[in-house]
Amino acid sequence: MTIVPQEDRLNAQIAFAIEIDKLKRVIRRNHLIDGSRRENDAEHSWYVGMLAMVFGEHAPPGTDIQRVVAMLLVHDLVEIDAGDTFIYDPEAVAVQETAERAAADRLFGMLPPAQGAWMRALWDEFEARETPEARFAKALDRFAPILANHHNEGGTWPLFKVRAGQVREKVRVIEEGSPSLGAYALELVELSVVRGHLAE
């Protein structure tokens, strides 16, 4: 095992800390709940991390919520390099994995090896969605934009001509991580259709 001198470790950690500040500059398609402006990736990551603590009782029994929060804090760091991918844009989604994996290699590779490997493992786990923690984290990542769009007259849905069927498809990911949040999200979709904020 390679031992990194303490000064080199700190320098690597400082460089990473400076680099991830760039997440604040990545602007997402989604708007804030009040509709006043678009949110950035850092705000989104904080928000879904908070949702993990708020909605923890809706996770599968035994889910490690602290791990979910950690996962959500790192899940979008790759967008510093890869940019935000709009989930209703099939062309962007098609190249997303390659771009984000390259970004993960670079960003987590900046840290001291063991620390970088730990964060990379969290990111990989989130992407694979094979654990209850990852499925719950992904559910919250999908739930937040639906909640926001519902409360700001459709938000990005009418703007990008997103249809109700497309949103229902994304709700399945929420249902996999939390049946109760999935059911609630589906209610929001149907209510948005009734109000004319989401087209069939």
Q: Which residue has the tokens 């209850």?
A: 132
Q: What average pLDDT does the structure give for the chain?
A: 95
Cross-strand partners of 40 = 27
Q: Say which range, 9-18, 81-90, 130-139, 144-153, has the weakest mean pLDDT.
A: 81-90
Averaged pLDDT for residues 61-74: 98
Q: Is the pTM of this model over 0.85?
A: yes
Cα 170 from chain centroid (whole Å): 13
- % of the chain with per-residue pLDDT over 70: 98
Q: Residue 28 phi/psi, 5° resolution?
A: -85, 165
- Is the predicted pLDDT of residue 2 greater than 60, yes or no? no
3-state secondary structure (DSSP) of residue 38: strand
Alpha-carbon distance of 123 to 195, in angstroms, equals: 37
Residue 59 has pLDDT above 70, yes or no: yes
Strand spans (E) along the chain? 27-31, 38-40
pLDDT at 136 over 70: yes
Residues 182, 172: Cα–Cα separation, whole Å: 7
**CATH code for the structural domain at 6-194:** 1.10.3210.10
How many whole angstroms separate alpha carbon 108 and alpha carbon 93? 22
Q: What is the pLDDT of residues 153-198, one digit of tens each?
A: 999 999 999 999 999 999 999 999 999 999 999 999 999 999 999 9
Residues 111 and 6: their CA atoms lie apart, in Å, by 12
The per-residue pLDDT for 119 is 98
